[in-house]
C-alpha cells in the first residue's frame, strides 16, 4: 500500500491494473499477450452454469501465456468440502495457481453446503492447500443480498471476519469492489472501514469502455447502487447517448483524491470489460 499517486495523468493509477474475463469470451481471443502486459493479473469469472473444466482450461492457457491468474471460487455453486478440495487441488497442481477471489456468488440458489465466502474459509482448505493470495468482495455501495434493510451491518461484520483471517494466517488478503461510477463513494467507504480497523488493501472495480445501454443493463443486474446516478445523468444528455462511456472521469477523480491522501489503502484498479476485452485493452494502452 505504498503506491504513489500523481495529479499528472493516469499512468500511476493504471499501473498494475487487473482485468476480469470469462472462459467463453477468453476463448475468442487468440493471444492475450497482444492485449496486456504478461504480468497482468487476470481474474477468471465463474458464471453460474460454467463447467469447472472450462474454468481450469482457461486458467492453464492464460498461465502458460505468462499471466498471473486469480479464479473466482463461488460458494453457492459448490456441493461440499470434497468438491471444494478437488477444485483447489486442480488449480494448484495442474495450473500452478495459489490465488483466488472468494465469493458467495451471484446464484440465488444454494447448491450445496456453502452459502458465503466465510463458509468456504471455515473449511481450512485454502490455508492447507497453499492459497496465499486471497481476494474478497468489497461493497462500497452496500449489498442488498446481504443487508436487506438500509444498513451495512452484515457486510461490515463480514469484513471483520476477513480481516481476522488475514491476521491469523500468512495469506495476503485484499478487497475488490464491484464496478461503480463515482470515485468519492469508494474513497469515503475506504475511510469508514479504516476507522473500523479494516485496513486491508482495496482494488477498485471500474467498467471498461462500453455503450451506455450496456452499462446500465449490467449495472442493474449486478446491483450497482447510488453511483448509477452518473449513468442516468449521462443518459439525459442526448449528445452523449450514442457515445461509448469511458472510465476516464472516475479514474481522474480517484487519482486526484489519492494524490492528496497517499496513505489510502486503495492500491489499484480492476477492469470489468463490459464493452469487450479488445476495447478495454485499447483504452488502457491509450491512457497509460
Among 47-61, 99-113, 135-149, which is the least confidently predicted range?
135-149
Identify the pLDDT of residue 236: 63
Q: What rounded mean pLDDT belongs to the chain?
A: 88
∠ Cα 159 163 168 (to 5°):
145
Report pLDDT digits (tens) over 185-235: 999 999 999 999 999 999 999 999 998 888 888 887 777 776 777 777 766
What CATH number is given for 11-287 in this structure?
3.20.20.220
Report pLDDT digits (tens) over 73-104: 999 999 999 999 999 999 999 999 999 999 99
User: Residue 120 is placed in which grid cell?
Assistant: 468456504
- Going by C-alpha positions, the residue among 44, 49, 53, 39 that lies closest to residue 26 is 44
Overall average pLDDT of the 158-176 stretch: 92
Identify the pLDDT of residue 239: 53
Identify the pLDDT of residue 222: 76
* Percent of the chain's residues with pLDDT above 90: 62
Which value, in Å, is the radius of gyration of the alpha carbons in the chain? 18
* pTM for this model (two decimals): 0.90
Identify the pLDDT of residue 230: 78
Domain ranges (residues) in the chain? 11-287
Given a cut of 50, is residue 126 above it in pLDDT?
Answer: yes
CB atoms within 10 A of CB 144: 12
Overall average pLDDT of the 161-186 stretch: 91
Amino acid at each position: 500500500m505504498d503506491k504513489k499517486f500523481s495529479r499528472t495523468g493516469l499512468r500511476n493509477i493504471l499501473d498494475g491494473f487487473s482485468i476480469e474475463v470469462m472462459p467463453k469470451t477468453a476463448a475468442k481471443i487468440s493471444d492475450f499477450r497482444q492485449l496486456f502486459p504478461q504480468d497482468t493479473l487476470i481474474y477468471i469469472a465463474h458464471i453460474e452454469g460454467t463447467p469447472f473444466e472450462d474454468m481450469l482450461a482457461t486458467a492453464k492457457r492464460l498461465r502458460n501465456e505468462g499471466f498471473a491468474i486469480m479464479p473466482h471460487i463461488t460458494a453457492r455453486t459448490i456441493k461440499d468440502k470434497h468438491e471444494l478440495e478437488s477444485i483447489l487441488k486442480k488449480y494448484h497442481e495442474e495450473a500452478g495457481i495459489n490465488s483466488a477471489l472468494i465469493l458467495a456468488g451471484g446464484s440465488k440458489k444454494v447448491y450445496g453446503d456453502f452459502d458465503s465466502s466465510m463458509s468456504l474459509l471455515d473449511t481450512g482448505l485454502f490455508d492447507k492447500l497453499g492459497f496465499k493470495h486471497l481476494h474478497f468482495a468489497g461493497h462500497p455501495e452496500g449489498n442488498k443480498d446481504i443487508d436487506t434493510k438500509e444498513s451495512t451491518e452484515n457486510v461490515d461484520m463480514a469484513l471483520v471476519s476477513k480481516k481476522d483471517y488475514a491476521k491469523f494466517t500468512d495469506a495476503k488478503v485484499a478487497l475488490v469492489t464491484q464496478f461503480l461510477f463515482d470515485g468519492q463513494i469508494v474513497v469515503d467507504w475506504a475511510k469508514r472501514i479504516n476507522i473500523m480497523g479494516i485496513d486491508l488493501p482495496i482494488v477498485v472495480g471500474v467498467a471498461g469502455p462500453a455503450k451506455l445501454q450496456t452499462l446500465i443493463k449490467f449495472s442493474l443486474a449486478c446491483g450497482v447502487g447510488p453511483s448509477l446516478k452518473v449513468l442516468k445523468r449521462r443518459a439525459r444528455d442526448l449528445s452523449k447517448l450514442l457515445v461509448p462511456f469511458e472510465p476516464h472521469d472516475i479514474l481522474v477523480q480517484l487519482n486526484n483524491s489519492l494524490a492528496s491522501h497517499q496513505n489510502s489503502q486503495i492500491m489499484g484498479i480492476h477492469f470489468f470489460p463490459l464493452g469487450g476485452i479488445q476495447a478495454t485493452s485499447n483504452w488502457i494502452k491509450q491512457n497509460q
